[in-house]
Amino acid sequence: MSKSILITSVGSKLALIKAVIRAKDSFDSTLKIVGADSNPNALARSVVDIFWQMPKLENLSFEILLKYVKKYKILYIIPTRDADLPFFARYKKRLEQIGVAVFVASEEAVRFCYDKLHFYETDKDKWAIKTSPDINQIQDSSLVVKERFGAGAKSMACGVSKSEAIAHAKKLKESIFQPFIKGREYSIDCYVDSSMACRGVVVRSRDVVIDGESKVTTIAHDDLLAQKASWFVTFHKIQGHSVLQVIKNEKGSFLIECNARFGGASTLSEYAGLKSFLWFLKEANKEPFSVSITKKIIKQIRKDEDVYIES
């Protein structure tokens, strides 16, 4: 049996899977793609070589994972969901000891990004926007309320009053509050190599956002934002791919959060030359890689498309 790449929580992430396929075809076309998801009806199961109905995280042990890794000769693991990151960061070193490379930052870096309150408390003297579990600590009249842990874009309320924020917070598991800042939104994709050097940065504007994801995004050659992002991910040792969410206005730039994974619209950055999946494969095999990121301005429009499978 051929050796494999495991992609977790594949869901409907067809574009991400295609990016991994492009990377593995450039590196080793014999590698198989194993897609994992707890949902047996995950749309992406139709585009992977092997589908694993993985147990939900609360039921997934290292022993279960190891059994599957051995069965399908998995050499590489790519977690794609925020909730997956702490689990795979915890076992990253143990997996590396048996020859399995995991595309995830360290436990410390993952915790820093995953816990938005810890993120602010660690970085408040540098770039992060004020964040508190106590609404009375935020003096602004227009507020943002979101989940403290992981990606909470779909359950987030933006630009609401204090009373509206309090009401919305009751619907969340563990809420945090931030001031609502008007300005242009940016996502910044970064790649930090195994020596903790930032090798590539792509800044892109979030032109149309639906359910927290950019449906239209455009490369913005903003050197200052790129430099700040490069410094940030290097300083905090966020190895691998990460995405910073920033708002910029006439008063400056404000860091909202950092996700320590490949984002939904990060495929634009991959198209522009930030070949994170390919670089991960090369680094796992101690191979050098070169970086060439376009100077062009490129717009990406993400849309649903039909897939036809004949039998």
Predicted confidence (pLDDT) per residue in 136-148, tens digit: 999 999 999 999 9
Pairs from 23-28 (Cβ < 8 Å, separation ≥ 24): 23/275, 23/277, 23/278, 23/280, 23/281, 24/277, 24/281, 26/278, 27/278, 27/281, 27/282, 28/281
User: In this structure, which topology does domain 4-104 adopt according to CATH?
Assistant: Rossmann fold (3.40.50)
Statement: residue 152 has pLDDT above 70: no
Whole-Å CA distances, 57 to 53, 61, 139: 12, 8, 38
Statement: residue 308 has pLDDT above 80: no
Q: Please list, in sequence order, all residues whose beta carbon lies within 8 angstroms of the beta carbon of residue 238, skipping any fewer than 6 positions away.
A: 105, 109, 112, 113, 190, 192, 258, 260
pLDDT in tens, 243-290: 999 999 999 999 999 999 999 999 999 999 999 999 999 999 999 999
pLDDT in tens, 184-207: 999 999 999 999 999 999 999 999
pLDDT at 5: 99
Q: What percent of the chain has pLDDT over 90?
A: 90
Q: What percent of the chain has pLDDT over 70?
A: 98
CA distance linking residue 76 with residue 69, whole number of Å: 9
Statement: residue 212 has pLDDT above 80: no
Domain 183-301 has CATH 3.30.470.20: yes
pLDDT in tens, 28-59: 999 999 999 999 999 999 999 999 999 999 99
pLDDT at 273: 98
Statement: residue 1 has pLDDT above 70: no
pLDDT at 256: 92
pLDDT at 123: 86
CA distance linking residue 309 with residue 111, whole number of Å: 40
For residue 132, the 8-state DSSP code is B
Which residue, among 107, 31, 27, 96, has the nearest Cα to 277 in the 3D structure?
A: 27
Confidence of residue 310 (pLDDT cuts 50, 70, 90): confident
Please indicate whether the domains covering 4-104 and 183-301 agree at the CATH topology level. no
Domain boundaries, the chain: 4-104, 130-179, 183-301
pLDDT in tens, 153-181: 778 999 999 999 999 999 999 999 999 99
pLDDT at 2: 84
